[in-house]
Amino acid sequence: MKDKEMNPLNDLISDEIFELLDSKGLINEKSVRDYTIRRKFKELRANEVSASDAIDTLRDEYPYLQFDTIRKIVYQINK
């Protein structure tokens, strides 16, 4: 991960476990990014931000992703 000091999965695993997995190349950065996007989207929606505005907010944080890409990420049904 780019920032070794930050554990984007801190609600799931400890910093130590994250660092160990990352050091062994066992962290899929795209999956972590998508998980983080879904978590932030849920937080925004819980604060009564419209879905469209929430996606726009996320686009500000991830400018390389298009609106539809973020929409697909946040509405992706976990199997």
**pLDDT at site 39:** 95
Q: Give dist(CA 35, CA 26) in Å, integer.
A: 16
pLDDT per residue as tens digits for the range 51-77: 999 999 999 999 999 999 999 999 987
For residue 4, pLDDT over 90 is answered with no
What is the span of the domain harbouring residue 46?
27-74
The answer as to whether 10 is a domain residue is no
The answer as to whether 55 is a domain residue is yes
The number of domains in the chain is 1
The answer as to whether 68 is a domain residue is yes
The answer as to whether 64 is a domain residue is yes
For residue 2, pLDDT over 60 is answered with no
The answer as to whether 69 is a domain residue is yes
The answer as to whether 39 is a domain residue is yes
Q: Give dist(CA 43, CA 36) in Å, integer.
A: 11
- Burial of 17-41, coded b for 16+ CB within 10 Å and e otherwise, reads ebbeebeeeebeeeebebbbbbebb
Per the prediction, the chain carries an average pLDDT of: 91
The angle, 0 to 180 degrees and rounded to 10, between the axes of the packed helices 29-46 and 51-61 is: 140
The answer as to whether 36 is a domain residue is yes
Both tokens of 31, joined, read 């999956």
For residue 13, pLDDT over 90 is answered with yes
